[in-house]
Structure 1
Amino acid sequence: MLRRGPTQWAHLSLWDRKTDVVQPGQWFRGRIYARRCDLSPGGELFVYFAAKHGRADADVGEAWTGLSRPPWLTALSLWENLGSWYGGGAFTADGDLRLDATCTLQVHPDFESPPLDVGHIGADTAPWEARLIAHGWSLEERGFHPRTHLRVGDREVWSKADPHTGTMLFQQVEDWDPNRYGDPYWSTYWLETKEDLIPLDGVEWADWDGTGDAGHPRLVFTRGGRLLAASAEDSQAETPIYDFNPLTPDPAPAPESALRWPESR
């Protein structure tokens, strides 16, 4: 789970969906671009795009794509990037890593090559779209070009079904707004049943999680800095999972265990 804020800070936590235990991790002074990040299928690796605008690192520059052990952001592999327009990556269902089409595949000489297959995402898509598709979302209406975010239709809508109840979760990707507080990219969410349309007011992110009671997917979402859950049948009966609001920047180095590749690799 990524948190942006306070100003010029980002924070990564690791959420175990089976136990709902959230492990706070590492702070980063700079920006992590959430749309260009992904967690590996086993939860052992995290690919992200980071930038320190105006505060370039002497060794790696102002922007880069990193691969780390969550909830830590200390990169084991790193690919330099010229500027922040593109970059980042997504994992395949098999755990292979696909970097943005503009990224170099040459690892920075001060970092290790990862013990997994690394290639490029197709030039006609972007990490955020590749991640949605890999996680079971379906495109209903195309509103923006995935790479340039230039408008190509009336609206951009994605959907994902709860297989047990048939309830559909929708997200509409809104216009890019560089002046919007927090993140210029944002979505609105709602549920549709056979009888009703239910807006998810104030929700910043939502998805189905298959670890609910009796194996039935539950709705998990964030609102106001908190991670919450609800059943597909009653989205109003919210169960709090974790409150990120009390966290304050406390930069610390990653532990030794986060500086080694997972044993499965």
Structure 2
Amino acid sequence: MNTKQFPARLHLLIAKNNDNGIVIRRGPSKQVCILAWDRSRNTFTVSQWLKGRIYERRSDISPSGKYWIYFAMNGKWQSEAKGSWTAIARAPWLKAIELLPKGDCWQGGGLFLDDQTYWLNGCHESLLTTKEIARNKSYQPKNQYGGECLNVYFNRLQRDGWNLTTDWKQGQWHLPTIFDKKLLHGWKIKKICHAQVDSPPGKGCYWDEHELHNQNGEILTKPKWEWADWVDNALVFAEDGCLYKLTIESFNDLSEAQLLHDFNSYKFENRQAPY
């Protein structure tokens, strides 16, 4: 039996128009913790846990940070939610204000088009609705990337300023898809997105690594950065269950990485949403 313990796995959603963010913390593999990140004070607050899986690459946060959309699976296929579902909730909570049962793990999740409307990825049933937000049934993303995580994730990346630098074709397994984003002083970050069935230990079938490039041609490989983005004029990244940031000092100089938070020690607890 493999008893090796892996660090918590982290993925972040960053609100565009305020100082809020959501941390999706996975670990152990069938438990997920959602935390609020107040970026103005750099505080992290646990909201709720789920015994199951949240597909972070099919999730999104509204520009104001008031709502978020996520796709989840707990395998309770005879339940009202049919074992897997897309939910819209008041960030950073899990309790749905709009609940859309799916019943399988194809498609699911979606993207916010603005603070009041969202696009839903694929066909769902409807169990709970709200007047706070509305689904745009006519919208379709410009690009299509299959029936799982990548269709939401790759469209979200491009919406948020990442440039697709490689061709993508349906069924493109084992060939990484690469995005980049320009930073300060000629620096560029590359996000190398893997999709494979025989992923390394501790990784899912979808996993990312990163590189930093400067204008002198120097390349800094960051294979352990599982998430990274330009946030509040700093480069923020997740590595080994911890969140760090560094600043770009000049065309060839980076600051030392500063630890923002260590997420490894969290344990499951039952918590209720305040609504």
Fold-level similarity (TM above 0.5): yes
CA–CA distance in 2 between the matches of 1:152 and 1:84? 18
Map of 1:8 onto structure 2: 30
Residue matched to 1:74: 95
Query: Which 5+ residue runs of structure 2 have no aligned equivalent?
Result: 1-22, 146-150
1:243 paired residue number: 262
- Within-5 A mapping of 1:211-250: 211=232, 217-233=233-249, 234-235=253-254, 237-250=256-269
Distance in 1 between residues matched to 2:175 and 2:205, nearest whole Å: 19
Cα 1:219/1:160, change in 2 over 3 Å: same
CA deviation string 1:208-245 (max 9, x = no partner)? 01x2xxxxx21001011111100124556111111111
Amino acid at match of 1:12: I
1:143-197 deviation line (CA, Å, top 9, x unaligned): 453xxxx1189541101111x3231110111132366534220011011110111
Residue 117 of structure 1 deviates from its aligned partner by 3.3
Q: Per the alignment, in what secondary structure is the counterpart of residue 141 of structure 1?
A: coil
Q: For this pair of structures, how many residues does the alignment match?
A: 240
Amino acid at match of 1:26: Q
Within-5 A mapping of 1:243-262: 243-256=262-275
Q: Secondary structure at the match of 2:220?
A: strand
> What is the TM-score when the length of structure 2 is the normalising length?
0.80
**Match for 2:230 among 196, 208, 213?**
208
Deviation string, structure 1 residues 2-36 (Cα, Å, up to 9, x no partner): 01111311111111222222122100011000110
User: How many Å separate the matches in 2 of 1:255 and 1:64?
Assistant: 21
Alignment of 1:70-109 (within 5 A): 70-93=91-114, 96-100=117-121, 102-104=122-124, 107-108=126-127
Q: Does residue 1:132 correspond to 2:157, yes or no? A: yes
1:107-186 alignment, distance < 5 Å: 107-108=126-127, 111-119=128-136, 120-122=139-141, 124-125=144-145, 126-145=151-170, 150-151=171-172, 155-162=176-183, 164-177=184-197, 180-186=201-207
Higher mean C-alpha displacement, 14-23 vs 178-187: 178-187
What is the root-mean-square deviation of aligned Cα atoms in Å?
A: 2.2
Distance 1:160 1:95, change over 3 A: farther
More strand by share: 2
CA apart distance, 1:90: 1.0
Deviations 1:12-70 (A, max 9, x none): 111122222212210001100011001111111110000112x3352111110001122
Structure 1 letter corresponding to 2:68? F
Structure 1 unaligned segments of length 5 or more: list them: 212-216, 257-265
Alignment check: 8 A CA contact 1:23 1:71 kept: no
